[in-house]
Amino acid sequence: MSKIFNEITTVVAATLILAALSACGEKEFYNDEQYRKECYIVSGDNNIFGQEYTYGENATGFLSIYLSGSTPVDNPVTVTLRQADHYLKDYNQSVNGSAFENYVELLPANCYQVESWSTVVTADNSYTLFPIKVNIDNLDPDKRYFLPLEIASVSDYQYSATKNYVLFQIYMKNAYATTKTDTYYQMTGNTLDLLAEGETWEESSPGSSPTAFNATKRMTPLSENSVRILPGTQQSTEKTFVTQRSLRLTITDEIYQNPVIGDDGLPTGQTYPVNIVKVEPLNEGSGCVQVRQAYDGTDQETGNLLYSYFNPEDKKFTLNYCYRMPSDKSGSKDTWHKVKEIMERLDY
């Protein structure tokens, strides 16, 4: 009986010793392997990280570089980046294949500035910011621009095998729209078709009332104070259509005292300041939209000018204009679409 008891005691003791050794080994692995320091660049799917830049500013955006692990950094760690164009080529080929029209472009060298390609993770921190100054004024809002960067070296520890590079995407914005997401405005208004021959104007359907509409309208930033829209209720994302039919809205510094209209539909004698908006074709030439200012009444040669403006208080656009495509005709007469629209941004 004593012999059996001793054997059981020996087995239990051995089991406890093995468990203790195993726990120690797991703890050492836990500390040394699972929580070892590893340097990586913060990014999302396909290693893409985007930053919005504002027109009219030579602004600075930042990449975040982290050192993973549960223990503090013992000494400052210097991380050096470099441009790595092959990642952009790989991305285009793997994501877009032969759809070359969808290929993203390399951010032009004259549009960005990196003052230093090295940055330091201090001993009291686990990350550092890598600044990139970008000027978007000469970029095309219809194109996607990436700056591919990779970790060239780390003064201590290792760097990630998968998050060692980033495709830094540039988004463009102004006070009215952004390319980060599609910017939409809720639009209400009306349109009336007019026929013009020389200086003679008439209604396409005499005695008819303007046709009311209620729709959403996409807006694209072009510069610090200009945006692009399609006229009236026209909708399309087809490149040629957008190029030929789009309007450029320029929000000027010119102030117009807009009259306050009472409940009876008459001016109250009060006014409020708004910014005049210039409405013009995005492009000119064969096949492009034609635009002219709108006047009250049918005759668009004389009368009271109907202003287009932006109200900085409620952030609404009120637009009055006439537009036509070169093919818009009725017999020998040109067909013009007289439009009034009020637009309010949906994503504020």
- Please name the amino acid found at residue 287: G
The 10s digit of each residue's pLDDT in 294-307 is 999 888 888 899 99
Other Cβ atoms closer than 10 A to 287: 12
- Residue range 38-173 forms a domain whose CATH class is mainly beta
Indicate the DSSP class of residue 305: E
Query: Alpha carbon 202 to chain centroid distance?
Result: 43
- Mean pLDDT is lowest, of 12-26, 36-50, 322-336, for 12-26
**pLDDT tens-digit map of 195-214:** 998 888 998 898 889 999 99
Amino acid at 241: F
- Position 101, amino acid: E
The CA distance from 182 to 317, in Å, is 18
Is 170 within 8 Å of 178 (Cβ atoms)? no
Length of the chain: 348
Per-residue pLDDT band for 348 (boundaries 50, 70, 90) equals: low
Q: Distance (Å, rounded) from C-alpha 215 to C-alpha 340? A: 13
- 15-29, 52-66, 153-167: the lowest-pLDDT one: 15-29
pLDDT at 26: 42
Q: Kindly state the average pLDDT of the residues 19-41.
A: 57
DSSP, collapsed to helix, strand or coil, labels residue 109 as helix
DSSP string, 233-288: T-----HHHHHHH-EEEEEEEEEEEEEEE-TTSSEEEEEEEEEEEEEEESS-STT-
Kindly list the domain boundaries of the chain, sorted by start residue. 38-173, 183-345
- pLDDT tens digits, residue range 243-298? 999 999 999 999 999 999 999 888 899 999 999 999 999 999 889 999 999 999 88
Q: What local confidence, expressed as pLDDT, does residue 34 receive? A: 53
Query: Could you confirm whether domain 183-345 is CATH 2.40.128?
Result: yes
Sheet holding 112-113, edge to edge: 112-113, 127-134, 59-68, 38-41, 158-159
Report the percentage of the chain scoring pLDDT > 90: 72
pLDDT at 255: 96
pLDDT of residue 227: 99
Across the strands, what pairs with 159?
A: 39
Q: What is the rounded average pLDDT of the residues 20-30?
A: 44
In this predicted model, what pLDDT tens digit does every residue of 116-126 receive, in sequence order?
999 999 988 88
Give the start-end residues of each E strand in 90-241.
105-106, 112-113, 118-121, 127-134, 145-154, 158-159, 165-173, 183-197, 200-203, 211-223, 226-229
